[in-house]
Amino acid sequence: MLSRSETSLPRPTTFFNFLNLPKEIRFNIYREALANQTHRTFFLFQDSGSRVECFAPGQPKLRLDLLYVNKKIHDEAVVVLYGSNRFNVVDTTERQSSLLKAFFDRIGSANAAMLTYLCISFPADKGTGCLPGEALFREEDLLSLKLLEERCAKLTTLELFVHSNNSSVLIDGKVHEPQYRRAGLMQIEGLLKRIFSLNKIAIRLYSGVLDHTASELMESFGWVVLRGDERWR
């Protein structure tokens, strides 16, 4: 039988240390909480003069509280948050580069360098305003691709959205002679090749009919052509 003094002693409390779990199990938990096991799609947008906002419609609530437990868990969790999800830029083509820059600045260089999957608009071309022999793309229309090269060291997958009002080079075969179309697409391919981590590129066509010479050239680059919301990966 226990003595009076023995029975009055408090029972030891057992504390669970999350970081004692094997790393593989911890990352499975991060993926369940932050990436839904496969990936979530986050849509980025920005009203004029405001900060970048992010939303993921129709998807489970994001458990961002994980990021604030301690530095170790934060450093592990952000690898999943930014490295295992798909980020889709929602804006007009004209404002795309400023939105991307604002997003990268907001999350910081280290987190921007963890991004692996982005969706942006295909660079807008000059359309009927392009004279023979001129470059199809203005420098400002190529800024988004240059930002990806500078800021996204681990980017592996890129979707480029094409619609009739931004890509006459791809959709309307009558606007540009084949040699200009080829030169324009090769310029884009050259910029994408400078993103050394990139190994999957898809052209997602939302309106219009893709010019067959453009389609053949893109396939020769190893790009995948998708229509609308066709599933990929």
Judged against a pLDDT cut of 90, whether residue 198 lies above it is answered with: yes
Each domain of the chain, given as residue ranges in start order, spans 33-227
If we measure between CA atoms, which residue out of 231, 228, 212 comes closest to residue 220?
A: 212
Query: Which two structure tokens, joined as six digits, stand for 19?
Result: 């970081």
224-227 sheet: strands from edge to edge = 53-55, 41-45, 86-89, 117-121, 157-162, 200-205, 224-227
The dihedrals phi and psi of 221, each to the nearest 5 degrees, come to -80, -15
Task: Please give the pLDDT value at position 5.
Answer: 46
Show contacts of 68-74: CB within 8 Å, 24+ apart. Answer: 69/18, 72/19, 73/18, 73/19
pTM of the predicted protein model: 0.86
Residue with tokens 């890129």: 158
> What is the number of residues in the chain?
233
- Choose from 127-136, 171-180, 190-199 the range with maximum mean pLDDT: 190-199
Residue 32 CB contacts under 8 Å (≥ 6 apart), including other chains: none
* pLDDT tens digits for range 98-149: 899 999 999 999 999 999 999 999 988 766 555 556 667 778 889 999 999 9
Mean pLDDT of 65-72: 89
